[in-house]
A and B are shown apart, each in its own frame.
Chain A
């Protein structure tokens, strides 16, 4: 479980969070989204304790270890690996720092990474996979994923996803991910949080979100439903609406169309929630 209470954080004069609150129960997989610069990565860094809040607190009630960082796995696109070390040296280093019993090589066994290679000789995707292996070897309770999975190829994404499913089955890992490419992880997500102006603008369970966001194709603008964004064609328009209620159906003109998660997020960040 992650409890964020009254969190404030600035970059100099730029206010990012001012009294921000969020609770994520143990075992939940949470997607944080929002436009670039809204503070998604900053939030992950604060949770990972790479950054310190100006005020407020971030608590992990279930982690008893004196240093919670050892139970938080954080992978970001600005990787903190030591370029000149060999793979085997980096493994030994992490083993001693994080008191890792055994290095989990189930991910890198699918790659051409060799233990005597230097880290700087690895491709971006290989570095990401190697970093993931180090993190998962420490058996974190909380796993924070900043948009890194883009750099690994389709096959390794599948391997990674299978590893994640294993971890979620075996131990109730709590996961926060930021803006991953949605298509292959859509069915992993329990909850979607959209940030706007340092606040939670949307916070929905995935099943509720899919019921509440619709595309209405019509020649007249739907009444009494907030419109997120609209696309106009010569004789009709697509209106993306939220929150849609099933009984809105009665006097609606036009066709009501279900959306997948990518379309939903695009409608949010392309429109009123930008």
Chain B
């Protein structure tokens, strides 16, 4: 059984359900939880698990395929495509997107760039370093 990203659908969000699921799967691929050539759950299984319309699941897989995260084998299913080289590139894009969201909120709160950098370093020190991260 392949690892399933912990997918939570927020019914109140205006972000479409298929986008919410896509970003969960993308995150699982970029973080290495899903590895190259891992098989994704079948259309039926993921629809059943999340209680969603199979049309939505199909849209998710189709778009992930177009974006280059997965490939399909006819009659067999969808598999993770991204190689470690591709991941580096996509990881860069993902961190840029996260930073943009975070920065725009932090700046709106009235923080200077120096303040923000200081807090990032401090938080990393307190929350991540002790757990054996770099």
Given contacts A187-B17, A259-B12, A261-B11, contact A169 B52 (CB under 8 A): no
Instruction: Please tell me the number of chain A residues within 8 Å of chain B, measured between CB atoms.
Output: 26
* Docked-complex contact A29 and B14, CB < 8 angstroms: no
* Size range of the chain B interface in the assembly: 10 to 19
B44 in the interface, Cβ–Cβ < 8 Å? yes
Distance in Å from the Cβ of A144 to the closest Cβ of chain B?
Answer: 17
Distance in Å from the Cβ of B30 to the closest Cβ of chain A?
Answer: 24
In chain B, what residue has the closest Cβ to A188?
B53
In chain A, what residue has the closest Cβ to B50?
A187
- CB neighbours (8 Å) of B17 from chain A are 187, 207
B106 in the interface, Cβ–Cβ < 8 Å? no
A260 in the interface, Cβ–Cβ < 8 Å? yes
* Docked-complex contact A168 and B55, CB < 8 angstroms: yes
Identify which of A29, A183, A189, A258 contacts B13 (C-beta below 8 A). Answer: A258
In chain A, what residue has the closest Cβ to B53?
A188
B19-54 contacts to A, CB under 8 A, are: 43-44, 47-48, 50-54
Q: How far is the CA of A170 from the CA of B42 in the complex (A)?
A: 12
A50 in the interface, Cβ–Cβ < 8 Å? no
* Docked-complex contact A165 and B54, CB < 8 angstroms: yes
Identify which of B44, B47, B51, B53 contacts A184 (C-beta below 8 A). Answer: B51
A27 in the interface, Cβ–Cβ < 8 Å? yes
Cross-chain pair count, CB within 8 angstroms: 58
- CB neighbours (8 Å) of A186 from chain B are 11
B72 in the interface, Cβ–Cβ < 8 Å? no
* Docked-complex contact A169 and B54, CB < 8 angstroms: yes
Q: How far is the CA of A187 from the CA of B59 in the complex (A)?
A: 13
- CB neighbours (8 Å) of A259 from chain B are 12
Chain A 176-206 interface mask (CB, 8 Å, partner B; 1/0)? 0000000110111110000000000000001
Identify which of A162, A168, A210 contacts B53 (C-beta below 8 A). Answer: A168
B16 in the interface, Cβ–Cβ < 8 Å? yes
Across the A-B interface, the 3 shortest Cβ-Cβ residue pairs: A207-B16, A258-B14, A187-B52
